[in-house]
Chain A
């Protein structure tokens, strides 16, 4: 019986979609546009998070400069203490010689290297912090350590990190805000489309109710019609986004090279499932609301 009802609902929804083709297509196109915007929002969000991740990677590393007269044992103790800290992902001790070698190996320091006499560089502990928000705490821990170089304790740039954190928070907030606006818009569009379909079929609904159809039996075809509309729109939006994604990214990369944006084919499958799910859900919710008033027995 369940299957028969589902078959009836699907046939009914399909018929209604084609019978009101002009209205249905208008809804599909409007939702397609909205989902394209949502998709762009997701893609831009993803690109930004990629960029932010690479920045995060860099700034979540902090170098603690070790004062020249610090006994080696004290450095090892501190290294061990840091390594045992749950906030720390890894600690590497770089001796004065290694630091100089690193400095010299950087071609940008070529001129400076020739002018250096002896080794003015500090030995250092390179600490990889797990979360960006914990870098400040590790920095203050380092500054309170007896072996730190008091003139130049760490390379921590608090302001920059704070700004990065703020920017990433604002960006995700703006993304969520935009998605909410787009969702509401598409629900309203589906709602009105389904209301038009319901208006055309009000007599049928009245007869359905009089012969003993349950509310879900009446509502089912309309909700399915909304889902069909949403999925069609999502498929079109997805196809367009997939086609445009790679060329747009490579164009962006050639124009604005300093931002490390990259084409990520793996993201397409997550975009596809997000958009199809969103299309189906928005279609269903819009229809449910649109038809609610009419099907109440």
Chain B
């Protein structure tokens, strides 16, 4: 089943008949067709093992599709040369459930890390890290180490690192998975602000409350296939299930 909403803007991400089978024989994705317009905010939902994380891995080119094509900004990821890959990843901001912060670096150094690998000069690094930390409301904690921060604060550092090089896409894999509901909501507010500034956000999540509250585009994946693609969707299509209503 292919449900592609009719957006006016051109798609920046496009999956065309994408299949992914792992060498073990596991068929993770089957015939995925998907278009994401610039500035979109979409949730990927579905049970564990449905294929959400595989889709994210394909998007950041940690994996290649077995069949089909994935275009990002007009470039086919499957045919991208390995040496071009770092330059592609610099256009993407990544946020993970386990934050992936470096414990031996301070908050400042963790965020600056994303700019250091680009070879940015010190004055630029300082200004942009300060701005990113301000966006996630962590100014003043520059010299703290990740271990001394709460889970929510650590995720904010990870978001600051994903933002600091001003990427056009933010790809988040269960960013609220390790957080309590209130902190998860704070983190979502951040993503909404980033999206409002023009970045396209693709987020795999299990957080039903948030998905149902925000009523953004929802793509439900089940057994490796797109089961639903709704412009203003909910976590479940079964309306009998309890829902949190948007006030």
Contacts and interface: CB of A to CB of B under 8 A. Distances in A.
A203 B146 CA distance: 14
B86 A212 contact: yes
B119 A1 contact: yes
Which of B87, B89, B116 has the most chain A CB atoms closer than 10 A to its own CB?
B116
B118 A212 contact: yes
Which of A1, A8, A206, A211 has the most chain B CB atoms closer than 10 A to its own CB?
A211
Contact of B113 (A211, A214, A215, A297): A211
A215 B117 contact: no
Interface string B78-105: 0000110111111000100000101000
Nearest to A19: B104
Given A8-B116, A206-B100, A211 B83 contact: no
A208 B117 contact: yes
A215 B117 CA distance: 11
B16 to A, nearest CB: 24
Which of A203, A207, A296 has the most chain B CB atoms closer than 10 A to its own CB?
A207
Contact of B117 (A2, A206, A213, A296): A213
A293 to B, nearest CB: 14
Nearest to B162: A211
A214 B102 contact: no
A4 B116 CA distance: 9
Interface string A199-221: 00001101111111111010000
A102 B60 CA distance: 90
A210 B119 contact: no
A140 interface: no
Q: Helix, strand, loop or mixed for chain A's interface?
A: helix
B100 A210 contact: yes
B86 A214 contact: yes
B217 interface: no
B23 interface: no
Chain B interface category by residue count: 20 to 34
Chain A interface category by residue count: 20 to 34
Contacts of B228: none
A54 interface: no
Interface in B32-79: 60
A5 interface: yes
B117 A212 contact: yes
Contacts of A5: 119
Contacts of A215: 82-83, 86
B66 to A, nearest CB: 19
B102 A207 contact: yes
A203 B85 contact: no
B161 interface: yes
A212 B60 contact: no
A208 B165 CA distance: 14
A207 B116 contact: no
Interface of A: 1-2, 4-5, 8, 203-204, 206-215, 217, 296-297
23 contacts: A2-B119, A4-B121, A203-B100, A207-B100, A207-B102, A210-B60, A210-B89, A210-B94, A211-B89, A211-B90, A211-B94, A211-B113, A211-B161, A211-B165, A212-B86, A212-B114, A212-B117, A212-B165, A215-B83, A215-B86, A297-B82, A297-B85, A297-B86
